[in-house]
Structure 1
């Protein structure tokens, strides 16, 4: 598998993990936000033994009821063969991995760190080298899909890193993913692709918010408009799922909160500057997300770009 390789695993069957591998590894999960909790729940339903760590006690109760084992420190996850991290940004991933008593210090030689976080390509490359120096393995495996899709095992996974580590990760991910897309040996490739996907999603939300506000202001029925959009030329997953949130003004609970979306566009723009690629639309949408944060909407889903368009058009909105 070279750095330019792009391939996809076939759609998974409905076999159980015990049919896929006779010996299941002990899996650890660090980072129990919305995505981390959904990922843990999905692993548990497939029969994996899962240990979890969180500084906050709030997410642990329900996961323990499902069979997860709570541990008191990151270092206690060192007994795991495979470690998933689901963290908010570069700083959080760096801290959990590189701090004293963190994953680098704790994982055994041969253990695999699967980073599902949406982070910069640079940090994945750096952490991959750090794990290599400890005879550990690292792959970037950011997820396309909201927590509901993760928990229902309908997520898409972008996967990159050393070939042997990717194959080891694939065996773990295949039972809980709808599709795994291999993007080569550069650990940063999967992260860059995830940022690109989030740029397209955010740009779509901005555009749908604008046209729905236009039609509402003209007195037209936005539900009819939504039905026309999604049954003709704009029938993609993003148009249907997030467009539906805009039309229904359903911005809670958030699948992706606005500050995280803003962070992802900032990382994409940083890569664009490094590669000298103009991205004017991305810059505009990044600023629109910032305007939503300034309104105190940090807890809302990023589809609240539609609410911002409505408010600025003088329309009522439910936020």
Structure 2
């Protein structure tokens, strides 16, 4: 946003993160009430609990925002939380837009993420210039903010299922005597040439699980929310449930700091391959 010429005020519960952005032109905020003059406020929070902690209360975001301001949530929260936030903001004379993203931190730095945006059209029109500056494409979903969150959860399920499949196939090929890199190039250069196959499959093939683009606890949370939505609408997702349990199992083994593509690591170890767990030597 700074590179695009926007005036940016930054707040974070971790002060060194604020200081780092102040050095490149942002204005620092020590409390949420310092954001009162901002017309648009973007949050990037990990779950419903973090969102509630930031938004509610006499010194929270809702109390700090001015009338007519728009809150844009880029995090992966539950549809129920998005619905509740829209009601709370409307009661305060404010607006709410859900704008979760598809992509990882590397893509975000290059402005190559995809934004799934949903909210009232008047609010969407107001925030569109900022979203355009941050992404390669904006997908306008609906006027109901929770619709964007449901689609984001569905996309994360599809990503997790793809990684599980890539992990199984690469282990099969390794144990059959193939060079992983050669067969990976064959697979992703023919029918399986999507960003997910190439990006996350590449992490599995290279055993590149650190640093994490999305840590395992966040992946567990996202699949849990997707399965809750599936139960709510009576959609059967047996494979997603299995992958959710595998993610939980990795957390139980102390792998919480790894990227969720470590589904490939779990499959390798289940298959008798002695792949190292990244970071264990430093523990």
Is TM (by shorter chain) over 0.5?
yes
Deviations 1:98-125 (A, max 9, x none): 1221111110100010000101111111
* Post-superposition CA distance 1:198-240 (Å, at most 9, x none): 0000000111111111111222111112111100110000000
The match for 1:273 among 213, 231, 245 is 231
Structure 2 alignment gaps of length 5 or more = 279-283
SS of residue in 2 equivalent to 1:113: strand
Q: Specify the SS of the correspondent of 2:14.
A: coil
Correspondence for 1:236 among 179, 194, 207: 194
**How far is 1:140 from its partner?**
0.2
SS in 1 for 2:16: coil
Instruction: State the Cα deviation string for residues 183-210 of structure 1 (Å, max 9, x = none).
Output: 1111100000000000000000111111
Most deviating of 290-299 and 168-177: 168-177
Matched, 1:114 2:79: no
Match of 2:6 among 32, 48, 53: 48
The residue number in structure 2 matching 1:34 is none
Aligned to 2:219: 261
Count residues in correspondence: 277
TM-score of the superposition, structure 2-length normalised? Answer: 0.95
Could you tell me which of 178, 181, 184 is aligned with 1:223?
A: 181
Find runs of 4+ consecutive structure 1 residues off by over 6 angstroms: none
TM-score when normalising by structure 1:
0.85
Contact 2:19 2:28 in 1 (8 A): no
| Residue 91 (structure 1) aligns with | 49
The separation in 2 between residues aligned to 1:307 and 1:60, in whole angstroms, is 35
Structure 1 residue 174, shift from structure 2 partner = 1.2
State the Cα RMSD in Å.
1.0
- The answer for the alignment partner of 1:186 in structure 2 is 144
Asked which structure has the greater RCO (Cα within 8 Å, sep 6+), the reply is 1
Distance 2:21 2:268 in 1: 39
